[in-house]
């Protein structure tokens, strides 16, 4: 009997035992599935990976089952990947098995949980175990967690285990804990505090240590480092509330740790590597946000300073693999197609970032928004800058309009690892118009235009050049129909070319049909998509072009 069957039987036996012992409980779950049908299109770059060349199909599916009864909770999740491009957009991955299981029991003031555990300390700067399926990020901790509630306002949590790695775990051991509470300065006082303190330790396994040593042993003496088996992190965080003001502050520190700096100069005796050089430094993060909300005005100010805060379960891992912590992004999380095309990934080695978000409601049906963000290295080299404006007007319940302008500066050399690429400059006006035909029918239209700056060295437009985008969405009960087109009408230096080397003006159409019935949602789409960066809360990766059909199912029960 394999591991999958043993784990499944264990969960089923537990559910049966609890039901027989305590009576009827609450059963819940969900199902999510994606299927991709790949159509080769070498012109836009949708080619030369297994799915386009011969597999032609890829799919992912997740089935969650949860059961709760009399203080007990248990759950299991089945994961399936068939020729999937989620793990690596340029490759194919196939596997299936139990992706998660957990058992939890509440014993008066003590909560006990074993299995795959999701949790975080503070905002996640020193530790965050979470899941983001669009990028196949699932770094749950496979281990044990205890939480003791001293009072209704104070608790302490401790955990230990290994980070999930697909259907296994990474070998390094992670352990830590936190103390959190709530303080009110009197029953009638407008001041309250929510302080917290957390610590994390990672102990490298011998195999990971040997991999690091095998790399650094070829360094010249002046660049040689001595890696540490144990790395410690600590953070203090607090939320201060006073009437309409809220102030959050978190300070974190990491002891000396071996990490890879992709921008470090490489002078190894045996030649340069492709991913920079290992350094051994301590790290720190200081993050704060101040919010004010009263009447018609809402203001949020944020600032973050990050230095040498790369922290992975194995220092030799790259991209999004093995990340133990999470650094909050410092740019607006936009939603429109062009306003999200150039999204900055959080830089964990050197970043100084600021953001201001101001929203004012002029009238009941009219509001304006202004967002400004600026991100540089600690040496003041520009990484990202954005000015985003928005005006929203509602006319009764009949229609509403949302329009604005985005201006960006985006360091493509750093974020997309494209040597000598200029800082991309964009100006993007957009318009979103929603008209309600009646209570059950509506039509929504989007129009966007992206103007790209010039690359003087290449004597052409930067990146892919200028774009137009249009979309129409029609909604009736249970059904949504969406048709859109993204047109690269003024190609740039990176746009596809024909056989004669001439830049091509290409359309990237998309057609979606969605059907919703009770708690089930089905989607079928034809997609032709340009290469670009996909981000989830500041965690980004470069996605290649896509051509084909997508089918999705989402269900809860």
Express each pLDDT in 235-270 by its tens digit.
999 999 999 999 999 999 999 999 988 876 554 444
pLDDT for 38-65, tens place per residue?
999 999 999 999 999 999 999 999 999 9
CB-neighbour burial class of residue 235 (10 A; exposed 0-12, middle 13-18, buried 19+): buried
C-alpha to C-alpha distance for 275 and 420, rounded to whole angstroms: 17
Cβ partners under 8 Å of residue 223, min gap 6: 267, 268, 277
Angle, alpha carbons 261-266-268 (nearest 5°): 120
Cβ partners under 8 Å of residue 324, min gap 6: 127, 128, 139, 163, 174, 200, 202, 311, 312, 313
Checking if the pLDDT of 522 tops 80, the result is: yes
Strands 155-165 and 141-149 come out as antiparallel
Angle, alpha carbons 80-82-83 (nearest 5°): 145
pLDDT for 403-440, tens place per residue?
999 999 999 999 998 888 999 999 999 999 999 999 99
User: In the predicted model, what is the mean pLDDT of residues 142-150?
Assistant: 98
In the prediction, which pLDDT does 326 show? 95
C-alpha to C-alpha distance for 255 and 106, rounded to whole angstroms: 35
Cα distances from 476 to residues 94, 434, 438, 459, 481, in angstroms, run 38, 14, 10, 48, 9
Long-range contacts of 483-486 (CB under 8 A, 24+ apart): 483/509, 483/510, 483/511, 483/512, 484/337, 484/446, 484/509, 484/510, 484/511, 485/509, 485/510, 486/337, 486/510, 486/530
What percentage of the chain exceeds 90 in pLDDT? 82
What's the whole-number average pLDDT of the chain? 92
Q: What share of the chain is helix, strand, coil (3-state, %, to 5)?
A: 10, 60, 30
pLDDT for 442-461, tens place per residue?
999 999 999 999 998 888 99
User: In the predicted model, what is the mean pLDDT of residues 146-150?
Assistant: 97
Residue in this structure with the two tokens 């809220």, named with its chain if needed: 246
In the prediction, which pLDDT does 270 show? 41
C-alpha to C-alpha distance for 388 and 372, rounded to whole angstroms: 6
Cα distances from 432 to residues 122, 196, 399, 471, in angstroms, run 36, 42, 11, 9
User: In the predicted model, what is the mean pLDDT of residues 97-101?
Assistant: 96
User: In the predicted model, what is the mean pLDDT of residues 126-146?
Assistant: 95
C-alpha to C-alpha distance for 99 and 130, rounded to whole angstroms: 13
User: In the predicted model, what is the mean pLDDT of residues 8-28?
Assistant: 67
In the prediction, which pLDDT does 271 show? 44
C-alpha to C-alpha distance for 311 and 346, rounded to whole angstroms: 13
Do residues 344 and 354 make contact, with C-beta atoms less than 8 angstroms apart? no
Choice between 77 and 5, residue whose per-residue pLDDT is larger: 77
User: In the predicted model, what is the mean pLDDT of residues 392-412?
Assistant: 96
Checking if the pLDDT of 316 tops 70, the result is: yes
**Residue 3 pLDDT class (50, 70, 90 cuts):** low
In the prediction, which pLDDT does 268 show? 45
Within its chain, how far is the Cα of 220 from the centroid? 37
Q: Tokens for 171, please give them.
A: 């070998």
Checking if the pLDDT of 490 tops 50, the result is: yes
Checking if the pLDDT of 22 tops 70, the result is: no
Q: Is 311 helix (H, G, I), strand (E, B) or coil?
A: coil
Do residues 463 and 424 make contact, with C-beta atoms less than 8 angstroms apart? yes
**Bridge partners, 372 (sequence order):** 356, 387
Q: Tokens for 331, please give them.
A: 């740019």
Question: How far does the chain reach from its first CA to its final CA, in angstroms?
Answer: 30
Cβ partners under 8 Å of residue 149, min gap 6: 109, 110, 111, 155
CB-neighbour burial class of residue 358 (10 A; exposed 0-12, middle 13-18, buried 19+): middle
């Amino acid at each position: 009997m394999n591991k999958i069957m043993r784990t499944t039987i264990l969960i089923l036996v537990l559910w049966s035992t609890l039901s027989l012992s305590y009576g009827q409980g609450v059963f819940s779950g969900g199902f999510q599935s994606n299927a991709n049908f790949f159509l080769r299109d070498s012109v836009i770059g949708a080619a030369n990976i297994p799915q386009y060349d011969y597999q032609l199909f890829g799919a992912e599916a997740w089935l969650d089952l949860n059961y709760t009864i009399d203080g007990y909770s248990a759950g299991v999740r089945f994961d399936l990947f068939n020729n999937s491009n989620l793990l690596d957009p340029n490759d194919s991955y196939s596997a299936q098995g139990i992706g998660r299981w957990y058992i939890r029991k509440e014993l008066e003031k003590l909560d006990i949980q074993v299995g795959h555990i999701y949790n975080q300390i503070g905002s996640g700067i020193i530790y965050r175990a979470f899941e983001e399926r669009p990028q196949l990020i699932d770094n749950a901790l496979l281990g044990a967690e205890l939480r003791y509630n001293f009072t209704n306002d104070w608790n302490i949590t401790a955990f230990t285990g290994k980070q999930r790695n697909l259907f296994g775990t990474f070998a390094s051991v992670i352990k830590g804990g936190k103390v959190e509470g709530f303080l009110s300065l009197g029953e009638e006082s407008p001041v309250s505090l929510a302080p917290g303190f957390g610590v994390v330790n990672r102990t490298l396994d011998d195999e990971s240590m040997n991999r690091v040593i095998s790399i650094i042993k070829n360094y010249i003496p002046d660049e040689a480092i001595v890696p540490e088996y144990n790395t410690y992190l600590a953070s203090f965080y607090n939320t201060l509330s006073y009437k309409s003001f809220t102030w959050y502050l978190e300070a974190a520190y990491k002891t000396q740790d071996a990490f890879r700096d992709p921008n470090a100069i490489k002078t190894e005796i045996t030649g340069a590597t492709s991913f920079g050089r290992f350094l051994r430094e301590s790290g720190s993060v200081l993050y704060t946000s101040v919010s004010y909300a009263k009447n018609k005005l809402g203001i949020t100010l944020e600032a973050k300073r990050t230095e040498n805060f790369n922290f992975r379960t194995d220092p030799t891992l790259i991209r999004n693999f093995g990340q133990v912590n999470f650094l909050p992004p410092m740019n607006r999380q936009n939603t429109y197609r062009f306003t999200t095309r150039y999204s900055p990934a959080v830089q964990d080695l050197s970043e100084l970032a600021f953001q201001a978000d101001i929203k004012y409601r002029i009238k009941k049906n009219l509001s304006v928004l202004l967002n400004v963000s600026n991100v540089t290295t600690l040496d003041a080299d520009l990484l990202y800058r954005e000015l985003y404006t928005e005006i929203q007007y509602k006319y009764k319940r009949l229609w509403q309009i949302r329009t604005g302008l985005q201006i960006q500066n985006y360091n493509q050399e750093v974020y997309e690892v494209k040597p000598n690429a200029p800082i991309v400059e964009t100006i993007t006006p957009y318009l979103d118009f929603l008209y309600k035909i009646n209570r059950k029918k509506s039509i929504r239209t989007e129009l966007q235009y992206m103007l790209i700056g010039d690359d003087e060295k290449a004597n052409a437009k930067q990146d892919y050049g200028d774009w137009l985008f249009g979309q129409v969405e029609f909604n009736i009960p249970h059904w949504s129909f969406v048709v859109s087109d993204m047109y690269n009408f003024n190609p740039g230096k990176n746009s596809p070319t024909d056989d004669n080397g001439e830049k091509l003006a290409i359309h990237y159409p998309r057609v979606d049909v969605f059907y919703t019935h009770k708690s089930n949602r089905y989607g079928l789409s034809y997609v032709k998509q340009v290469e670009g960066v996909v981000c989830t809360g500041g965690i980004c990766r470069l996605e290649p072009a896509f051509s084909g059909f997508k089918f999705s199912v989402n269900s809860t029960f």
